[in-house]
Amino acid sequence: MDHEPTNQELIDSHREASHTEVSRGAPVLKAGHTFGSVTDQISAIVLSRPTSRGWWLGLAASFVLLMVLNMSIAYLLLRGVGIWGISMPVAWGFAIVNFVWWIGIGHAGTLISAILLLLRQDWRTSINRFAEAMTLLAVACAGLFPLLHMGRPWFFYWLMPYPNTMALWPQFRSPLVWDVFAVSTYASVSLLFWYIGLIPDLGTLRDRATSRAAQVLYGALALGWRGSAMHWHRYRVASLLLAGLCTPLVVSVHTVVSFDFAVAIVPGWHTTIFPPYFVAGAILSGFAMVMTLAIPLRWLYGLQDFITPRHLNNMAKVILCTAMIVGYGYIMEIFLAWYGNNPYDQAVVANRFTGAYREAYWALLFCNIITPQILWFSRVRQSPKLLFLIALIVNVGMWLERFIIVVTSLSQDYIPGNWGMYYPTFWDWATFIGTVGLFFTLFFLFVRFLPMIAIYEMRELVHETSEHHAND
Amino acid sequence: MAQIFHPNTNAISRASIFGALFAVVIAGWLLDSFNRSDYWTEVGVPRAQPVPFSHAHHVGDIGLDCRYCHASVETSAFAGMPATEVCLGCHSQLFNKAAILEPVRASLREQKPLQWNRVHHLKEFAYFNHSIHVAKGVGCSTCHGPVNEMPLMWKQNSLSMQWCLQCHRHPENYVRPKEAVFDMDWQPPADQAEQGRRLVELYHIAKLEPAGAAPQEPRKSASASKAAAAKSSPDDYFEEEQQTGAAPVVKFRDPLTNCSVCHR
Amino acid sequence: MLPTKPTLYGLMAEFTEPDELLRAAKKAHAAGYRRIDAYTPIPVDGLSEAIGFRHTKLPLITLIGGLIGGIGGYAMQYIAMSVHYPLVIAGRSFDSWAAFIPITFEMTILFASLATVLGMLALNGLPMPYHPVFNVPSFALASRDRFFLCIEAVDPVFELEPTRTFLLNFSPLAVHEVKP
Amino acid sequence: MSAAISSIEPMTLDALRRKLAERGSKPLWRSLDELAETPEFMEYLHREFPKAASEWQSGTSRRRFLQLMGASLMLAAAQGCTRQESQAIVPYVEAPRDFKPGQVQHFATATSRGGYGLGLMVESHDGRPTKIDGNPRHPYSHGATDVFAQASILNLYDPDRSQTVLNAGRISTWDQWLTELRPALDRVRAARGRGLSLLTGATSSPTLIAQIKDLLQQFPEAKWHIHEPCDLQQHRYGGQTAGQRPLDKLYDLTKAKRILALDADFLGSGPDSLRLTRQYAQRRRDELSSAQMTRLYSAGPAPNCTTAMADHHRPLPAAKVRNVLFRLNQMLSGAEAKWLPSGLAADEQAWVDTVAADLKQHGAESVVIVGDSQPADVHAFARDANRQLGCVGPQGCVRYVASILAAAADGVRPLAELVDDLNGQRVAVLAMLGGNPVYDAPADLDFAAAMKKSSATSIHLSAYDNETSQHCLWHIPALHELESWSDIRALDGTASIMQPLIEPLYGSATKSAHDLLGVLAGEKAPKSAYERVSAHWTQWLKDRQPIANFDVTWATWLQDGVIADSASEAIGADAALKAEPRDEAAPNQDLEKKSPTAKSLEIVFQPDVAVWDGRYANNGWLQELPRPISKLTWGNVAGVAPQLAERLNLQDGDLVTLTLDGRSVEAPVLRMPGHADNCVSVTLGYGRTRAGHVGNGVGFNAYLLRGRENLNSAQGLEIAKTGRKLDLAMTQHHHSLEGHVEWTDNTRPEPVRSGEIADFEKDPHFLQQEFDRHSPPSLLPNFEYSGYAWGMSIDLNSCVGCNACVVACQAENNIPIVGPEQVRNGREMHWLRIDSYYRGDPTSPETFFQPLACQHCEHAPCELVCPVAATTHSPEGLNEMTYNRCVGTRYCSNNCPYKVRRFNFLEYNDATTPVLKLLRNPEVTVRSRGVMEKCTYCVQRISAARIVAKREDRSIHDGEVVTACQAVCPAQAIVFGDLNDPKSAVNQRKASPLNYQLLGELNTLPRTTYMGRLRNPNPDLVALEADRSQAPNATVHPLDPQQLGAG
């Protein structure tokens, strides 16, 4: 990314972007908004609007679940991973399933803000902020599991390269070490990206804030942003560069996660289709989660002006598309088992369709492949309620997919003498539900204390749309 | 709009960003060096003993041989601690009234063993065998330091894995002639590197022994050992060679660094 | 950047429309003012060029960061696995470069991103919580819907009254004196 | 869960057979349900989360929770820290002479198997025995041991061992006992011993027998009773006149080309099983031609190691063994004319006739072996058969010797008499030297009631305060075999001195039988056991070689572990016949009435292969030992044939009520392919109430059904379903019973490769595949192992699945037990497991064993994925596991295609009980929670050998390193050694054309390889069985009247 875009290009990009988009009809921003109106309406949510009862209830509920998480972690440290249902041969259970699931969810945010930025999709502006926040929180939840699932978590730092008196290093050939690097890189870069995006809005909040405390808080975080023209210039370049860096990163992360399985020789894991199909799955689950959050939010905070049917429509299309890719992944798995004529792979496929966990497998096919098909109908794509429902179903489906991949493959691998089943225990469930609590607790705090929509980008949107009208 | 911050917050805030990164590094460095510090490893910290036994006196002044007390050092993993009767072998005659030796006499009288405080403590998952080290020309003082100058015993080296590896990776820097193993005053000669390499060859240290030859004389591929002499780190541990025609093979030597040597 | 005349940092004209600001900025630059800056709630295209800002080194910084990360990443793995403590792992060669690629890649991205962000902040002289322009009461609107053009007193061409009149030509909402 | 299973409808056998047929080429299968793939079964399996709450229920109290909570966090903190804690070194006051600290010593001794001796070689670390192995010089060990010998070391250190004298349950002392006993003893002495009753177990100890005989001379009126609950030869006490001694049989299978085993598990249990297994396996391994190879026929009620190894196994009720022999003798005698009906079903008779023909053809090179649980007349039949075959005699396959166990000839009286005396108040002092009659005496004797009724001063010498001690006035803690001096004789009479390996753990309170007898004899100055034993043998030696130097000889005896030429002479077959005469008419009278019918079933009582008669019930290693074939742990079951289960609509784990002669118990059912129809087999030794913390309340007590008349089998059993269900703890089948779709199963390579000797003769390599000969090409450079290259070969042809290796491994490597709940979750820790597979018709399938431990792959998949290099490869080719580096991601286990890695899911090792610390092998790290572990090829032994070799500046000899599993294996199925040494034994094995790699197609290059299993079936029988499988119902009602008439 050392090619430096001139402002002219930037202008043009936004011009044509706005052209094409608007010509497609549905606006990305309800008409009639001014710089002032968007600024005030969004910052009000954080600064002046009284906290709604709904918010309090939501936070309380999530907090309860968060406490469940604490309990299960405490008990885990106390007794050991044996409190879970894992066994030989199924040595990985919910922990890894949840890890992959959360990481997958964590993909939409960066994808929206990075790839869609590069693709100059201006409809991303109103959803990218909380999508990125969602990414961070999801990655935080995901990050818990690799730690917790270790037999001796207090030695987690042995997975990092650091000078030690044992003269030992991590074993860099292991996909788990790749994970450590991939996930931590992803977390830190997403955090940077998100924070950089926040700076101008923090400035806005600083200037809108009335209480001294708020002024100092937001002021400190805003780093003294004052909207200088030169700053804006570098700022945009930086955003573009980060976007350019995040795009391969976001693809790499879930690729590496898929290596956890693809590198192993377990039948049902050891296939080359995994990286693309994991990434697609990640985007699918990510967008599903964005939808799950966006639809209630716009209704709760009356953001219909900013998150318009147009956005829902586009996200629905992305879901439909990725669902098809994932479906292709499933089909290829089956095809390769048959075509590769590997008895073990064939056994895995057969086991998935007819074996002990077949209900889960059928359910995931229904959730991830069948359900999204109704998104072909634009009427469905227009109905927030239906979309919300579909998003939920897809979330479940993607979890099931990971469950199937992890558990069925392990429960029956090569030698019949060591086959076994996996039965989750109370603690498996508690830990899983607990992270959901962690996620929503943090998310509620986010929507309360930070602008969930990028204010300055909305102002840009106002500017462009008005310019466009001027040009008519 | 009123200023929220005082002018010199600028300096502070800028410092804080890079300061934070710096602080992390410093903290890590501190932890590491603490972990290696003598305070933590107790290197050079004399241990109090029920009887203030002085190696300096018995070894340094009188010149007792290590094996007089540590009898099983050549045959067993454990160097051995002298039974009370060994002490009294002399001290029934010498200083047989001395107050400080009362615990020893009491031990024999009451048939209660003495309880010495351990100075060199290895974790239970690390297995160390004295006999083989002694047999291959690793001197007492190489690990235990100038015992003949220690009034009360202390640890000369940290016994950390890294410390073990120094020698296990480059024995030639440490080995001495077998006859000098128990010599407390032995100092490495000027050409230790050369001598060492010779001894490594001589004592068959750290060479895999190719199977098949008659058990009596040690089996050892001369070529491999010559190569070893020539090579320098990292090739001490392996050499990669393309065999014409055949599949490429990585030859490697030195079982000294494989895990089960110390951990089972 | 402290003003030579401690009494005044500069003059600041306040506009409601980005285009007005853009016009004023261009004129000001044409009039030979060099120490000028514009403050806007949104990035206004062409503004930075208008006040004579050409080009940023940021991409270069990113590149360097990336290279450091990548090379460092691979070196770390190579040294650890085949020089410092070579262990036979699953019969793989000590330098299994293929297995080192993912981490090399991640390290590249990480360092490049860090370089970009820190570089951007550094070049922008951020953080700077205190700045004279904040003394202007209505500057709070710079992050809402007002557009400001500031000519600094240190500018050689700067003369308080002429500059004020010069700015008034563009019929701004107001022209403020910026206390240092 | 139970609901889930009980909802399962069983699948009919025909359907199963059809499924097998559909699968085309005979596939291996593991269990009936796998075969069935019944939808209902799937249904149950789909309830994926039946255990959801288990951990929660087993959760700790809140208070405990918080305590541990703190503890665990501190632990987490502490783990990081390594600052040296203060620790003491404690030298001797006076060092024992020939003793080097930190060095391993070995001592020869012996142990008792139902009175018979087994020579042992015990390993001692700094004065504490840690590992038991066989004594190579002992004729019945040859260096091998069985599971009991292996596990008995755990009994020595068992925290539940009784440690003090008890008086009516209250703690007392030895002297207290002496004083309080004196009056009673005086009275007895006054009455020339009237009222003194002695109860012992079966014994062959010369010193002990002599001591008792002295006592009986001193007290002519006193009585000596023997009760051995699982006496291997129950028929012994039947109708003998004093002076006669029952016979023991000494088989020599090295000469046997044909073996017919009738209700005999000669490979699995018995005092000579080790010797016979070795001989059988040797011949089976070395004679690889259809002309020479041994062919093993077996017929019997319940599947066991022998039936599994048989080339032809015929499920047969115990009662019909008599019929089979009857028929067999007719066939051998060949005198058509005066044939009586054999009472066999048509197809059974056909089977016997074919076998008879084969035996007859091989004459003296064939032998008939009858199980010791069969009554005397059946053994007499067998003797006839063997005589007709001409295999009796010093050169033949079987010799007879007078039993060396104390018997009627020594004035021993049966237990029943004692019970009468007790009830009749004719006992003043009852001294029980060991044993546990209250628990294991025949139920109809009701020993407990008799004890209550009697006013006798009862004394119980026992290692545990058990059910019997509870009913006794006095309990004296007994010494363990490794704590006291004694002696014992093996089956052939060879005597061994039992020497103590360690001072009594619980001090002078613990006594041996010798001490107790000394007291009863009223000795003023009681001699020590050592004095008695040495005195006896001094005399013995004097009698034979008056001039010999006793001390020297004694020393050699102790060193060798056997006493030279102490064996007894054989008796000719005719003499043997005289020794145990039988009523010619008896058999065919009994033939019918003794045979089971569908209505009244037969029940077979067998000692459990793990806890024997119950004496090992508190031994965790044995409780958790997967039984051969069934893979059941922690409990016993009522074994039934699949077809019987089908008729009675029973599923595995169903609780049924077994009723016999009005006595009944509840037992879980387990379907056993190859089990005799209309017959239920139960194992004894379970349902203990005072065994200890481990053994209490495990399983059900089959003794409650056992009457004095029918100790080994009985007719007229009734079985009734309770509708309740038990979740059996099995290590192999677990809950993963759902099967595979046929189109995958046909192509799946079978883990156990097997074929017939005929095919082998056509092409010796017929079991091998491409990758078995040379490994597939690889992109990566291969490492060259230029030094030692350790490898192992396991011969599936020899392995009889006796499990000894599993316990040996557990003992050598400090492997913890995890308990039934964890076993159900699939968390057993055995580094070495023995998989079992079936092939063919469920009613009598072929059975296969496969010992499976870490294969030490050169391309080990586990190593690649370990993030911290905790598992790595050594330059000698070992796949090493560094416990202290492991962080427990369990990725390695997932990526292990053999699934031989074991994980400490919880803190399994008992780190708190002090006495257990003595048990541990100091050369092996005790693994903590959260750490992966696995077979290491006994790397501690390799290191020890290497250090010695390097010290002596030589290389390790072949056979210098012997792994624990190899050392213990009676069949010598396991061989370990250096692959770079062309002359090494392991290379000889691997050169065999039967050598193959497990999952070699994955190019893991395993260092452990297998030798395929060869079967030697009888073509005529194959044809016969083929016809029978046309009409599957033939087996279902073996005694249907028409067929009887036909016979």
Secondary structure of D954-1007 as H, E, C letters: CCCCCCCCCCHHHHHCCCCCEEEEECCCCCCHHHHHHCCCCEECCCHHHCCCCC
User: What are the strands, taking DSSP E only, across D563-620?
Assistant: 570-571, 601-607
- The residue among D522 and D794 whose pLDDT is bigger is D794
Chains that touch A (3 or more CB pairs under 8 A): B, C, D
Q: For residue A27, what pLDDT is reported?
A: 64
pLDDT at B221 over 80: no
Minimal C-alpha gap between A38 and chain D (Å): 50
Of the listed ranges B127-141, D556-570, D753-767, the one predicted with least confidence: D556-570
8 Å CB contact of D1005 and C89: no
Q: For residue A435, what pLDDT is reported?
A: 94
Average pLDDT on B75-90 reads 88
Using the Cβ of A181 and the Cβ atoms of chain D, whether some distance falls under 8 Å is answered with no
For the four alpha carbons of A42, A43, A47 and A48, in that order, the dihedral sign comes to negative
Compute the distance between CA of residue B240 and CA of residue B252 in angstroms, rounded to an integer.
8
Mean pLDDT of chain A: 86
Chains that touch D (3 or more CB pairs under 8 A): A, B, C
Q: Note the pLDDT tens digit of each residue in D620-631.
A: 999 999 998 888
Q: For residue A363, what pLDDT is reported?
A: 93
Mean pLDDT of chain D: 83
Of the listed ranges A464-468, C93-97, D36-40, the one predicted with least confidence: D36-40
- The residue among D1 and D10 whose pLDDT is bigger is D10
Q: Note the pLDDT tens digit of each residue in A342-381.
A: 888 888 888 888 888 888 999 999 999 999 999 998 888 8
Average pLDDT on A24-48 reads 75
Of the listed ranges A46-55, D166-175, D732-741, the one predicted with least confidence: D732-741
Compute the distance between CA of residue D982 and CA of residue B219 in angstroms, rounded to an integer.
14
Which residues 180-239 of B are in CB contact (within 8 Å) with C?
Answer: 233-234, 237-238
Q: Note the pLDDT tens digit of each residue in D373-407.
A: 888 778 888 888 888 898 888 888 888 888 888 88
For the four alpha carbons of D114, D115, D116 and D121, in that order, the dihedral sign comes to positive
- The residue among C163 and D588 whose pLDDT is bigger is C163
- Determine the residue among C81, C106, C139 to mutate to test chain A binding: the one whose Cβ has the most chain A Cβ atoms within 10 Å: C106
8 Å CB contact of D780 and C91: yes
Average pLDDT on C18-34 reads 86
8 Å CB contact of A150 and D930: yes
Q: For residue D24, what pLDDT is reported?
A: 53
Q: What value, to the nearest 5°, has the Cα angle with vertex D766 and ends D761 and D768?
A: 140
- Determine the residue among B4, B8, B14 to mutate to test chain C binding: the one whose Cβ has the most chain C Cβ atoms within 10 Å: B14
pLDDT at B230 over 90: no
Q: What is the three-class DSSP state of B127?
A: coil
Q: For residue D738, what pLDDT is reported?
A: 33
pLDDT at D726 over 80: yes
Q: DSSP letter at A370?
A: I
Q: For residue B12, what pLDDT is reported?
A: 87
Phi–psi pair at B96, nearest 5 degrees: -70, 0
> With a cut of 0.85, is the ipTM above it?
yes
Of the listed ranges A30-39, A159-168, A401-410, D135-144, the one predicted with least confidence: A30-39
pLDDT at D137 over 60: yes
pLDDT at D198 over 90: yes
8 Å CB contact of D872 and C89: yes
8 Å CB contact of A165 and B160: yes
- Determine the residue among D891, D927, D929 to mutate to test chain A binding: the one whose Cβ has the most chain A Cβ atoms within 10 Å: D891
pLDDT at D588 over 60: no
Q: Note the pLDDT tens digit of each residue in D35-60.
A: 555 444 444 433 333 333 333 333 34
Q: For residue D62, what pLDDT is reported?
A: 47
Using the Cβ of A168 and the Cβ atoms of chain C, whether some distance falls under 8 Å is answered with yes
Q: For residue D335, what pLDDT is reported?
A: 65
8 Å CB contact of B1 and A224: no
Q: For residue D402, what pLDDT is reported?
A: 83
For residue D906, give the nearest of A80, A92, A350 by CB distance.
A80
pLDDT at B232 over 80: no
pLDDT at D81 over 60: no
Compute the distance between CA of residue D641 and CA of residue D671 in angstroms, rounded to an integer.
6
pLDDT at A37 over 90: no
8 Å CB contact of D873 and C88: yes
Q: For residue D242, what pLDDT is reported?
A: 43
- Determine the residue among C22, C26, C93, C144 to mutate to test chain A binding: the one whose Cβ has the most chain A Cβ atoms within 10 Å: C144
Question: How far is Cα of residue B119 from the mean position of the Cα atoms in its chain?
Answer: 13
- What percent of chain D has pLDDT above 90? 50
* Contact residues, chain A, for C51 at CB < 8 Å: 229-230
Q: What is the three-class DSSP state of C15?
A: strand
Tokens 């008034």: give the residue: C168
D10, D649 contact by CB (below 8 A): yes
- What percent of chain A has pLDDT above 90? 46
pLDDT at D355 over 50: yes
* Contact residues, chain C, for D875 at CB < 8 Å: 88
Using the Cβ of B240 and the Cβ atoms of chain C, whether some distance falls under 8 Å is answered with yes
Angle between helices A274-300 and A384-403 (to 10 degrees): 140
For residue C129, give the nearest of B13, B233, B234 by CB distance.
B13
Tokens 């051969």: give the residue: D628
Chains that touch C (3 or more CB pairs under 8 A): A, B, D
Q: For residue A351, what pLDDT is reported?
A: 86
Of the listed ranges B34-43, D62-71, D79-88, D761-770, the one predicted with least confidence: D62-71
Q: For residue A356, what pLDDT is reported?
A: 83
8 Å CB contact of D88 and B211: no
- Determine the residue among B3, B8, B22, B260 to mutate to test chain C binding: the one whose Cβ has the most chain C Cβ atoms within 10 Å: B3
User: What are the strands, taking DSSP E only, across B54-177?
Assistant: 116-117
- The residue among C146 and D885 whose pLDDT is bigger is D885
Compute the distance between CA of residue D4 and CA of residue B186 in angstroms, rounded to an integer.
77
Q: For residue D392, what pLDDT is reported?
A: 86
Residue of A nearest to B259 (CA): A168
pLDDT at A324 over 90: yes
* Contact residues, chain C, for A192 at CB < 8 Å: 113-114, 117
Q: For residue D84, what pLDDT is reported?
A: 59
Q: For residue A461, what pLDDT is reported?
A: 81
Q: Note the pLDDT tens digit of each residue in D848-878.
A: 999 999 999 999 999 999 999 999 998 888 9
Structure token pair of residue D758: 């005929």
pLDDT-based confidence at residue D574 (cuts at 50, 70, 90): low
Of the listed ranges B243-247, C142-146, D125-129, the one predicted with least confidence: B243-247
D967, D807 contact by CB (below 8 A): no
Which residues 368-407 of A are in CB contact (within 8 Å) with D?
Answer: none
Compute the distance between CA of residue D712 and CA of residue A125 in angstroms, rounded to an integer.
85
8 Å CB contact of A207 and B1: yes
Compute the distance between CA of residue A115 and CA of residue A112 in angstroms, rounded to an integer.
6
Which residues 198-227 of A are in CB contact (within 8 Å) with B?
Answer: 206-207, 215-216, 219-220, 223-224
Residue of D nearest to B39 (CA): D83
* Contact residues, chain D, for C96 at CB < 8 Å: 780
Using the Cβ of D70 and the Cβ atoms of chain A, whether some distance falls under 8 Å is answered with no
Q: Note the pLDDT tens digit of each residue in D666-677.
A: 999 999 989 998
Q: Name the residue among D627, D642, D693, D637 with its Cα closest to residue D665.
A: D637
Find the DSSP H helices in C31-123: 47-50, 58-78, 97-123
Minimal C-alpha gap between A192 and chain C (Å): 7
D153, D129 contact by CB (below 8 A): yes
User: What are the strands, taking DSSP E only, across A36-145?
Assistant: none
pLDDT-based confidence at residue A100 (cuts at 50, 70, 90): very high
Compute the distance between CA of residue D129 and CA of residue D811 in angstroms, rounded to an integer.
11
Q: Note the pLDDT tens digit of each residue in B23-69.
A: 999 999 999 898 888 888 888 888 888 899 999 999 989 989 999 99
* Contact residues, chain A, for D905 at CB < 8 Å: 80-82, 86-87
